[in-house]
Amino acid sequence: MLTIDRPEIECDVGVVTFYRLIPDCPAPQRADRSAGGMLPTRAFRYCDPVTTASAFGWYVFPPTAFSLHFDGAEVKWTYPGAEQWHPLGTTQFPDFAAYFDEHAPSDLKGFSPPFMTAFPEPGFVQIWSGLMARTKPGWSLLVRPVPNFARSQRYDQFEGIVETDSWFGPLFINLRLAKTDVAIEFQAGLPLFHVQPVERKVYESRLLDEFTVVEGMDDWSQSDWDDYRETVVAPNLMTDKLPGQYAVKLRKRRRSQ
């Protein structure tokens, strides 16, 4: 494979710029603290770790509703307006190849990204969102299932980190279909996956290889015990304990920064 070195290009605004290729495909949305309304009310009000994780990133939607069917060996697909199920090998989004050729430079005609691809491994499928993305130098995108959404039991999603500051390609998700002989439906209005910005240095081996384990409580420092006393013990000694004290503490810290 030929590798071409090219300079990293700054995205226009913020840490990421999304590029829409398929006409009218949904734009990404900033994830919200309620996980799209999926969180119980008590978790939304009082559990800051859950709401912070829910809001960290952007929802990415499928460009259309569609359905997959896996018989244990082969995958078929269909979409609204299609009259039948079609075998899935590598397929283009409906009418997109012609649209791409109308807008692309002459030397790129015929190279439109596929919408879906069935891998040689049975039940493994790659699905394109209709988008591409570019991040600021030193930043990547973590592609993953939507945090705190109810997960379908009919398929699993793989996570991946894409170094989108230098790799400018389709923004997609890989799936493993887990149920056979049933229609697996993907709705246009629900997120297909989630992307989160990750600074490259935080997942480099030189950082992750260096970590410390405190072997036992006899090795705790006085400050460790003080923090335990404040975090775990003190709230349980309060006579009028209010829920959400952790969230209140974090909000005060954020306001002071």
Structural domains in the chain, CATH included, are: 16-207 (2.70.40.10), 222-256 (no CATH)
For the cut 90, the answer to whether the pLDDT of residue 223 exceeds it is: yes
The per-residue pLDDT of the chain, averaged, comes to 90
Mean pLDDT of 25-36: 92
> 44-48, 140-144, 225-229: lowest mean pLDDT where?
44-48
Nearest to 113 by CA among 99, 122, 123: 99
Q: Are 60 and 194 in contact (CB under 8 A)?
A: yes
**For residue 63, with 0-12 CB atoms within 10 Å meaning exposed, 13-18 middle and 19 or more buried, which class applies?**
buried
- Angle, CA of 159, 160 and 161, to the nearest 5°: 140
pLDDT tens column, 176-206: 999 999 999 999 989 999 999 999 999 999 9
In this predicted structure, what is the pLDDT of residue 10? 55
Average pLDDT on 223-242 reads 85
- pLDDT grade, residue 234 (50/70/90)? confident
**What local confidence, expressed as pLDDT, does residue 40 receive?**
84
Least confident of 13-17, 26-30, 74-78, 181-185: 13-17
Angle, CA of 87, 90 and 94, to the nearest 5° = 80
CB atoms within 10 A of CB 211: 6
Which one, of 169, 175, 28, 195, lies nearest residue 112 by Cα?
169
Residue 150 CB burial class (10 angstroms; 0-12, 13-18, ≥19): exposed
Write the DSSP assignment of 46-105 as a string of letters.
H-HHHHHHHHSSEEE--SS-EEEEE-SS-EEEE-TT-SS-EE-SEEPPTTHHHHHHHHS-
Global confidence as pTM: 0.85
Q: Taking the CA atoms of 104, 110, 116 and 122 in sequence, report the sign of the dihedral they define.
A: negative
Do 184 and 68 contact (CB within 8 A), yes or no?
yes
When comparing pLDDT for 239 and 122, which is higher? 122
CA-wise closest residue to 116 among 60, 71, 75: 75
Average pLDDT, integer, range 242-256: 60
Over residues 75-124, the pLDDT tens digits come to: 999 999 998 999 999 999 999 999 999 999 999 999 999 999 999 999 99
pLDDT of residue 1: 30
| Burial 20-30, CB ≥16 within 10 A → b, else e | ebbeebbebee
